[in-house]
Amino acid sequence: MKKIIALLLLISLSFASQAKPLELLHWWSSKGELNALSYLENVMDRQHSGWETKSIAGAGGKNAMYVLQARAIAGTPPEVAQIEGTDILSWAQLGFVNHLDKLAKTQDWQHTLRPLVTQVNSFEGRYVSLPLTIHRTNWLWLNQAVFKQAHLTPPNTWSDLLVVIHQLKSMGVQPIALGKDSWQISILFENIALGLGGSEYYHNALVDINAATINSAKTHEILSVFRAISLAINKDLTQSTWQQETEKLFQGQAAMQITGDWVIGELNVASEETRNNITCFVAPQTQGNFVFNMDSLISLSGSQHFDQIEQLFEKLSQKTFLHDFNRLKGSIPPRNDIDVSDYNACSQKSNQDYSLSEASNTLLPSMTDSMAIDPRKQRLLVNEIYKYFINTKMTEQAFISNVIAISKIE
Ligand code: BGC
Q: How far is the CA of 262 from the centre of ligand 1 (A)?
A: 7
Pairwise CA distance, residues 135 & 370, whole Å: 13
Mutate to test the pocket of ligand 1, among 135, 245, 379 (most ligand atoms within 8 A of CB): 135
pLDDT for 48: 81
Per-residue pLDDT tens digits of the chain, which is 410 residues long: 444 444 433 433 343 444 589 999 999 999 999 999 999 999 998 878 899 999 999 888 999 999 999 999 999 999 999 999 999 999 999 999 999 999 999 999 999 999 999 999 999 999 999 999 999 999 999 999 999 999 999 999 999 999 999 999 999 999 999 999 999 999 999 999 999 999 999 999 999 999 999 999 999 999 999 999 999 999 999 999 999 999 999 999 999 999 999 999 999 999 999 999 999 999 999 999 999 999 999 999 988 999 999 999 999 999 999 999 999 999 999 999 999 999 999 999 999 999 999 999 999 999 999 999 999 999 999 999 999 999 999 999 999 999 999 999 98
Q: How far is the CA of 9 from the centre of ligand 1 (A)?
A: 43
Domain with CATH 3.40.190.10 in the chain: 21-135+293-361, 139-291+364-407
pLDDT for 47: 79
Q: Which atom of ligand 1 is nearest to 331's Cα?
A: 9
Q: Which atom of ligand 1 is nearest to 33's Cα?
A: 10
Pairwise CA distance, residues 393 & 3, whole Å: 76
**166: Cβ–Cβ under 8 A, 6 or more apart, which residues?**
232
Beta bridge partners of 381: none
Query: Does ligand 1 lie within 6 Å of residue 85's CB atom?
Result: no
Nearest protein CA to atom 5 of ligand 1, as residue = 60
Mutate to test the pocket of ligand 1, among 27, 56, 86 (most ligand atoms within 8 A of CB): 27
Q: How far is the CA of 14 from the centre of ligand 1 (A)?
A: 36
Q: Is 326 exposed, middle or buried (0-12, 13-18, 19+ CB in 10 A)?
A: buried
Q: How far is the CA of 252 from the centre of ligand 1 (A)?
A: 23
Mutate to test the pocket of ligand 1, among 56, 295, 325, 368 (most ligand atoms within 8 A of CB): 295
Pairwise CA distance, residues 20 & 50, whole Å: 9
Query: Does ligand 1 lie within 6 Å of residue 247's CB atom?
Result: no
Architecture per CATH, domain 139-291+364-407, reads as 3-Layer(aba) Sandwich (3.40)
Query: Does ligand 1 lie within 6 Å of residue 245's CB atom?
Result: no
Nearest protein CA to atom 6 of ligand 1, as residue = 60
Nearest protein CA to atom 8 of ligand 1, as residue = 295
**168: Cβ–Cβ under 8 A, 6 or more apart, which residues?**
146, 150, 152, 174, 175, 255
Return the SS3 of 227.
Answer: helix
- Which pTM value belongs to this model? 0.94
At 337-369, the pLDDT tens digits run 999 999 999 999 999 999 999 999 999 999 999
Mutate to test the pocket of ligand 1, among 266, 293, 329 (most ligand atoms within 8 A of CB): 293
Among candidate residues 84, 141, 109, 32, the one with its CA nearest the CA of residue 293: 84
| Sign of the four-CA dihedral 99, 103, 105, 110 | negative
**405: Cβ–Cβ under 8 A, 6 or more apart, which residues?**
none
pLDDT for 387: 98
Helix (H) / strand (E) element for 126: namely: strand 126-127
Do 363 and 116 contact (CB within 8 A), yes or no?
A: yes
- The two beta strands, 122-123 and 51-55, are unpaired
CATH topology of domain 21-135+293-361: D-Maltodextrin-Binding Protein; domain 2 (3.40.190)
